Amino acid sequence: MANSFGHILTLTSFGESHGPSVGAVLDGLPAGILIDEQQIQKELDRRKPGQSTISSPRKEEDKFEIISGVFEGKSTGAPICILIPNTNQKSSDYEHLKTIYRPGHADFVYDKKYGIRDYRGGGRSSARITAAWVAAGAIAKTYLTQTFNLKIQSIVSSIYNIEMDSPFSYPDWENAENNIVRCPDVNIAAQMIMAVEQAKTEGDSLGGIISTRVLNCPVGFGEPLFDKLNAELAKAMFSINAVKGVEFGLGFKSSKLKGSENNDSPDKNSNHDGGITGGISNGKHIEFNIAFKPVSSISIEQQVLNTSNEIETLSIKGRHDSCILPRAVPITEAMTALVIADHALLNLKYVGNMT
């Protein structure tokens, strides 16, 4: 099972949804980097459940502990191990799923691949494990800010059929943290909240799009072939539960343009490439969208397959988000930070040629 990613800066993830804890080992961070524990906790608080009326009511404080790799508030160069206890499991909520494969989840394929599965919330395939990714990503964010004054921001730009017009042109992304859906446009946010609340009342769920931008990224991050920066970011995004699509810059819209319309040039105020050309950062803002499917755990009755290969009816009970996007914003930022920081460190071998 692949539980690690990265080249120089590597993240190894461990733990299960209903185990004693989840955690991560962040290895390869240079010595002497400030480890801001308050910032780490702030990022975890943005991801934790129970923070609004539209998120899962599971109550997890997500208080973390760093057990290695930090001394007197700075990285030592050794692996940084982060532990986050699971304190509010209700495994009994999943007892009725012991012999049932939930639609849209990894239950069936996991069982067929490994011959064993933890039916309590999905075990290893649960989004619960992303808490530790957020903690590690907060450290990567600090490194990038200290070293490059680089900033990573994500917002919810679309939920269901409600969407912002040109989110990358919206002037103040900071407003996103002022409402529970994390959309910077107040009017659009209000419509999104109403839609999610309606879906929750109906026992249903909604998907949407998170838009992300990286400000002040230097020219030269990424490789021209198999480690393209956009490919590495896309891989990291697809590791996040429920992600079904990624596009950079104009993305699929560029297929409907002529070359003369799509090409960025010095006299155009455009960023159709999304800040990455030929797999390498070009100095403009890195801009990309990721699409999330609706949460699969819904209370509406569905036809499902059981472990005896029979079809039966299921209404999923328990504590689930009606829309995962607001809580996925810090996860998206964290995974982006880990990839960008990894390529910043990879680029040290070319430092003599960088301008």
Q: What is the CATH number of the domain that holds 291?
A: 3.60.150.10
- Residue 318 pLDDT: 66
Region of poorest pLDDT, from 33-37, 52-56, 143-147, 157-161: 52-56
Secondary structure of residue 248 in the 3-state scheme: strand
Measure the CA–CA gap between 157 and 210, rounded to whole angstroms: 6
Q: What is the mean pLDDT of residues 336-350?
A: 94
- Residue 198 pLDDT: 96
Side chain identity at 5, as an amino acid letter? F
- pLDDT at 87 > cutoff 60: yes
Cβ density class 91-129: b for 16+ within 10 Å, e for less: eebbeebeebbbbebbbbebeeeeeebbbbbbbbbbbbb
The dihedrals phi and psi of 91, each to the nearest 5 degrees, come to -60, -25
- Write down the mean pLDDT value for the chain: 92
DSSP state of 29: P
Domain that holds residue 81: 4-353
235, 186, 242: which is closest to 210 by C-alpha? 242
- pLDDT at 58 > cutoff 70: no
Q: Which long-range contacts (CB under 8 A, 24 or more apart) does 299-308 make?
A: 299/203, 300/202, 300/203, 300/204, 302/103, 303/103, 304/100, 304/101, 304/102, 304/103, 305/100, 305/101, 305/108, 306/99, 306/100, 306/101, 307/99, 307/100, 307/101, 307/111, 308/99
pLDDT confidence band for 315 (50 / 70 / 90) = confident
Domain count, the chain: 1
Q: What is the pTM of this model?
A: 0.94
Q: What is the mean pLDDT of residues 30-59?
A: 88
Output the six-digit token pair for 345. 């460190």
